[in-house]
Structure 1
Amino acid sequence: MTTAQPLSTDPFLPGPRVRVAGSATGPLAGLTFAVKDLIDVADSPTAGGNPDWPRVYPTPTRHAGVVQTLLDAGASAVGKTVTDEVSLGILGENAHDGTPLNPAAPDRVPGGSSSGSASAVAAGACDFALGTDTGGSVRVPASFCGLYGIRPTHGRIDFSGICVQAPSSDTCGWFARDAATFARVGEVLFGQVMPDRLPHTLLVAADALGFADAAVQEAMAPQIERLAALIGNRRDVTLAPQGLSVWQRAQRVLQSSEAWQTFEPWLDACNPRMAFSVARSLIQGSMMTDAERSAASLMRIEARARLARLLPPGTILCLPTTPFPAPLRGLPLGALHPLRERIACLTSHGGLTGVPQVNLPGAHVDGAPVGLSILGARGTDLDLIRLAVALEG
């Protein structure tokens, strides 16, 4: 049963604190989780980070599929969390609900759009939390808040009961502070036990590593060496021969076009209040041409072929999750757009190729976390999680 209690004072939990008890027994019994406010919890409004979204999105009468699976496995939901407006953001600042705290670096943003979920886990308010990732919305806050986070293989996690942005890129992932909890959740959501094997080949994306700030490259070096020592075979490769910015542009065209198609009926019906950056993104999506979409679709085919070639069985690829640690809170609007563009150059492969990606915490720059990511072929999500457990152990 869902219960709503008085308004929460937590910086990551908007509105009523939702509590739903999980089954008394199960592999996740005793664990608690929070839910991004794009994901349905029965009898609790899904606000989507915008005060006008509920006008066309009625209060759900059933849980999202992923929430029901976790409850059935024994985990209990303890709250809904702040999201960037209708998932259209990457830094975690929401003009309506405020910016959740980054407990790992309080003077910096938490990353978005799953900002509140990352904040809740990093603060210890719950054991794990659900987020969505279309263009980096789990990976980026995981990097900025020093957490384990996953963008699963596209289509592998049930997306029913979750607000859509761009269907060809939308995924549902989660955050955890430790690899053991991260893995327990993965085995439940994927319905499989982690494999015993580890990969035998490590690829380092030299172009992505070189794209990151010099301090990030230096901070990544010990983690990459640990990976290489564990796996035993390392070589450098180029992730995006056409250029990381070319892949970024293709993903932007496809994602923005789909987001416009998703939200146009809502805009027409409600003329909603929204932040300038969110409105600008939607306007840009509305202006994409058929020629741009056709070219971007071809680039998606090339990117998928590239990853399929780079990632045969037993091979993983690593790269910085973000090119820098979390920016400071409250930066001027004009300073934010270039930061978003740079981040997208290291996250666009997710939507383009659909491969799974796990953020590994551990590195820091000037005291702020920054993550290293590992990628595998489609369907190798649990192999990546198994490697994360091995590294932490």
Structure 2
Amino acid sequence: MQDLYGAFVPGTNVVVQPTGQGPLSGLTFASKDLFDVAGFVTGCGNPDWARTHPPARRHAWAVQRLLDAGATLAGKTITDEISLGLLGRNQFDGTPINPKAPDRFPGGSSSGSAAAVAGGLVDFALGTDSGGSVRVPSSFTGIYGIRPTHGAISVEGLMTQAPSFDTAGYFAAGAEIFAKVGAVLLQDAAPAAPITEILFATDAFAACDPVVRDAAAEPTRSIARAVGASREIVIAEEGLPAWNRAQVRLQCSEFSRTFRAWVDTYNPRFSYEVGSTLAHAALIPESERTEAALLRTAIRARLDALLAGGRVICFPTMPILPPHRDAPLSVMNEAGDRIVNLTAIAGLSGLPLVNLPLGQAGTIPVGIAILGARGSDLSLIEFARALGKPSS
């Protein structure tokens, strides 16, 4: 396979044949370089992590489940360094090309997986999502993606960074394959049930650039027509920036603890962005973490009540179009902060979210998010399959 989009980890040749036959027979997939593949080092996007860790002894749970279902693993894909990023940049392994907008970032940290799927190199791919790492690239590259209910897909054999946020998700270019993979990875989830009402989060729409709102207008009308019942709500009484701050404080506190011993022992090389992120994370006071945890508890209770009875919340997956690859660091930092205004919704609540690749701003993809009740993953996937993707 020719890696036309720089999606795969350079210098690796990871191909694993299926261990069984099943619903995914004949399909190929890629795996973000955070998932263990037996006999290979899980590099996590950083050469010093790869240097200081041995080859995996067994496959990650999700990789093994897909192999058992008949799929062939075609390679390990690039991630932002130790998964700390939202745009898809990696100064060591390279930044994958966004097949749908080559002059713009693909989104991270599951950038390679999204690029491989969007570019047709594989049928589907594994990614992870703690702060938005499936949702950002699926929206930026115009493919289906899911951040599942927290804990719905096992993270055994996955390099985790923030345990109360980490999820294993996946991408597919088409709705049918997206549904097939969901049936394999979410076998223990509740059966799909009808969506009874769409709730449009007006504050989430207001957080978006006008070009994004315009691109989302017709897709959201289609979603409303498909369900039949809809209304507008305000999702964040405290304001989405307050949710952003809570997400950042909690997630940063966790990944600071995750990486502290390794950083102290090996003094690894980092890009400026990742090094400064880790340094600032270590300085978050316990009082701010406690305050953020209290807000998270209130948010979960509020959204659980809003989504009871088969309701779904809908809003643009990203508030911005993917930034240009040559954007200055200040622009990239601003983009990351604005992105978290929307990714914090599913991150803090632990609820499942599916990106529907239904919007276009010219030739640039704009994703539409549907957020469901805890455990409603298969309902969201089935809705995505039934709605399908409009022909271009």
* TM-score, scaled to structure 2: 0.96
Paired residue for 1:392?
A: 388
Paired residue for 2:233?
A: 237
Equivalent residue for 1:13, pick from 8, 14, 20: 8
Could you list the per-position Cα deviations for residues 223-280 of structure 1 after superposition, in whole angstroms to 9, with x for gaps in the alignment?
1111111111110001111010000000100000000000001101111111111111
Q: Does 1:103 align with 2:91?
A: no
Structure 1 distance, partners of 2:178, 2:40, is 26
Q: Does 1:249 align with 2:245?
A: yes
1:312-391 pair list within 5 angstroms = 312-391=308-387
Paired residue for 1:258?
A: 254
Secondary structure of residue in 1 paired with 2:206 = helix
1:215 offset after TM fit, Å? 1.3
1:55 offset after TM fit, Å? 3.1
Could you list the per-position Cα deviations for residues 14-34 of structure 1 after superposition, in whole angstroms to 9, with x for gaps in the alignment?
121210011352111111000
The residue type equivalent to 1:295 in the other structure is: E
Could you list the per-position Cα deviations for residues 343-387 of structure 1 after superposition, in whole angstroms to 9, with x for gaps in the alignment?
010101222110000000021113110100000011000000011
Paired residue for 2:291?
A: 295
Equivalent residue for 2:160, pick from 140, 164, 167: 164
Q: Does 1:189 align with 2:180?
A: no
Paired residue for 1:112?
A: 108
Equivalent residue for 1:26, pick from 8, 17, 22: 22
Structure 2 distance, partners of 1:53, 1:193, is 34
Equivalent residue for 1:79, pick from 69, 75, 90: 75
Equivalent residue for 2:31, pick from 16, 31, 35: 35
- Asked if the contact 2:26–2:71 (Cα under 8 Å) also holds between the matched residues in 1, the reply is yes
Structure 1 distance, partners of 2:55, 2:87, is 27
Equivalent residue for 2:60, pick from 64, 81, 97: 64
- Asked if the contact 1:8–1:16 (Cα under 8 Å) also holds between the matched residues in 2, the reply is no
- Asked if the contact 1:142–1:148 (Cα under 8 Å) also holds between the matched residues in 2, the reply is yes
Paired residue for 1:180?
A: 176
Q: Provide closer, same or farther for how the CA distance between residues 354 and 144 of structure 1 changes in structure 2, counting only shifts above 3 A.
A: same
**Bigger mean CA offset, 120-129 vs 344-353:** 344-353
Q: Does 1:281 align with 2:274?
A: no
The residue type equivalent to 1:185 in the other structure is: V
Could you list the per-position Cα deviations for residues 106-156 of structure 1 after superposition, in whole angstroms to 9, with x for gaps in the alignment?
110000000000000011110000000000000000000000000000011
Structure 1 distance, partners of 2:44, 2:110, is 11
- Asked if the contact 1:92–1:112 (Cα under 8 Å) also holds between the matched residues in 2, the reply is yes
- Asked if the contact 1:209–1:320 (Cα under 8 Å) also holds between the matched residues in 2, the reply is yes
The residue type equivalent to 1:167 in the other structure is: P
The residue type equivalent to 2:71 in the other structure is: A
Structure 1 distance, partners of 2:123, 2:149, is 23
Secondary structure of residue in 1 paired with 2:13 = strand
Structure 2 distance, partners of 1:56, 1:134, is 24
**Percentage of identical aligned residues:** 50
- Asked if the contact 1:150–1:175 (Cα under 8 Å) also holds between the matched residues in 2, the reply is yes
Structure 2 distance, partners of 1:333, 1:342, is 14
Equivalent residue for 2:206, pick from 181, 206, 210: 210
- Asked if the contact 1:320–1:371 (Cα under 8 Å) also holds between the matched residues in 2, the reply is yes
- Asked if the contact 1:52–1:272 (Cα under 8 Å) also holds between the matched residues in 2, the reply is yes
- Asked if the contact 1:187–1:194 (Cα under 8 Å) also holds between the matched residues in 2, the reply is no
User: When the two structures are aligned, how many residues end up with a matched partner?
Assistant: 388
Structure 2 distance, partners of 1:125, 1:52, is 28
Q: Does 1:271 align with 2:259?
A: no
**Bigger mean CA offset, 164-173 vs 212-221:** 212-221
Q: Provide closer, same or farther for how the CA distance between residues 192 and 257 of structure 1 changes in structure 2, counting only shifts above 3 A.
A: closer
**Bigger mean CA offset, 344-353 vs 172-181:** 344-353
Could you list the per-position Cα deviations for residues 7-57 of structure 1 after superposition, in whole angstroms to 9, with x for gaps in the alignment?
977611112121001135211111100000011111111110001002332
**Bigger mean CA offset, 185-194 vs 226-235:** 185-194
Secondary structure of residue in 2 paired with 1:373 = strand
**Bigger mean CA offset, 242-251 vs 53-62:** 53-62
Equivalent residue for 1:200, pick from 196, 202, 217: 196
Secondary structure of residue in 2 paired with 1:265 = helix
The residue type equivalent to 2:351 in the other structure is: V
Could you list the per-position Cα deviations for residues 314-366 of structure 1 after superposition, in whole angstroms to 9, with x for gaps in the alignment?
11010111011211102111221111000010101222110000000021113
Structure 2 distance, partners of 1:154, 1:231, is 26
Question: Please, which runs of 5 or more residues in structure 2 have no aligned partner?
Answer: none
**Bigger mean CA offset, 187-196 vs 232-241:** 187-196
